[in-house]
Amino acid sequence: MLRVTDLHVFYGKSHVLRGVNVEVAAGAVVALLGRNGAGKSTTLKAIIGLVPVHQGRIELETPAGWLDVTRLPSYQRAAAGIGYVPEERRIFPYLTVRENLRVGLDRRPLSAVERQRALERAFALFPALADQLDRPGRVLSGGQQQMLAIARVLVLEPRIILLDEPSQGLSPLIADSVMEAVTRLGREGIAVLLVEQNALGALEVSERGYLMDKGTVAHGGAAAALLADQTVLERTLGVRRA
């Protein structure tokens, strides 16, 4: 579904990403993990087109074949099927839930049936939003805001969602419900590239994982194998599995 090959990104003279290689299969949940400053969020921003790529290639699988999106503007990448949920949610706080969702629904002419189908898909994943349609985003709980941020992308009908720190600032119970929603996305055939501060939780819901260190992918493989490798977890993430 997504291939990132030899990705290099600079911030000014700082070489932030140094040859990152990542692959995400159709319908797979893949974790992209690392310490603060390892380059995880920058990788997502490069994939969606928010930071320029100095070197490398970003390809998306579409019904017509593989599409090179490396130099496309962000809106064309979104139209091709890449969804992006940024860190800190970035919903429109003074718009209602309904209006936030319309940001996605109004992207192109849709019939009433198509609009309703897109909304029903979002509400099936996050039933709590259906009762909040007329409330402004700023009065929602942190968990509801995260659900809204994902639902706003979901109505775009993406092929893959780039999800940056979805459990940040949430209680453990609400964070678990958000991570369960991530697994449901995969079961529905939507690929997910997941950046998450709760590294062990992310690996538990993922099929594969990539562990980043200083702008490169230090380790990659099946999530279960990475979870079982205590040495790698401690060296790259600084975490110990209980």
Predicted pLDDT of residue 117: 85
E strands within 152-215?
Answer: 160-164, 191-195, 208-213
| Percent of the residues in the chain that have a pLDDT greater than 70, as a whole number | 99
Predicted pLDDT of residue 102: 85
Q: How many CB atoms lie within 10 A of CB 132?
A: 19
Dihedral over alpha carbons 168, 153, 157, 20 (to 10 degrees):
-60
Give the pTM: 0.92
Predicted pLDDT of residue 30: 97
| pLDDT confidence band for 242 (50 / 70 / 90) | low
CA R_g for the chain: 18
Residue range 9-31: mean pLDDT, rounded:
95
Tell me, what amino acid is at 202? A
Q: What is the pLDDT of residues 137-190, one digit of tens each?
A: 999 988 889 889 999 998 888 999 999 988 887 788 888 888 888 888 888 889
Residue range 100-127: mean pLDDT, rounded:
82
Residue range 90-118: mean pLDDT, rounded:
84
| Among candidate residues 36, 1, 37, the one with its CA nearest the CA of residue 22 | 1
Q: What is the pLDDT of residues 176-187, one digit of tens each?
A: 888 888 888 888
Contacts of 189 (CB under 8 A, 6+ apart): 26, 27
| Percent of the residues in the chain that have a pLDDT greater than 90, as a whole number | 57
All domains in the chain, ordered by first residue: 1-81+195-242 (3.40.50.300)
Predicted pLDDT of residue 66: 95
Identify whether the C-beta of residue 209 lies closer than 8 Å to the C-beta of residue 33: yes
Per the document, the length of the chain is 242
- Please tell me the distance from the alpha carbon of residue 209 to that of residue 80, in angstroms, as a whole number: 24
Question: Lowest-pLDDT range, 50-54, 80-84, 172-176, 226-230?
Answer: 172-176
- CA angle 162-164-170, nearest 5°? 135
Residue range 54-59: mean pLDDT, rounded:
97
Dihedral over alpha carbons 45, 40, 52, 86 (to 10 degrees):
10
Average pLDDT, the chain: 90
Q: What is the pLDDT of residues 210-231, one digit of tens each?
A: 999 999 999 999 999 999 999 8
Predicted pLDDT of residue 188: 85
As beta bridge partners, residue 67 has 60
Q: Is the pLDDT of residue 58 over 90?
A: yes
Residue range 59-66: mean pLDDT, rounded:
92
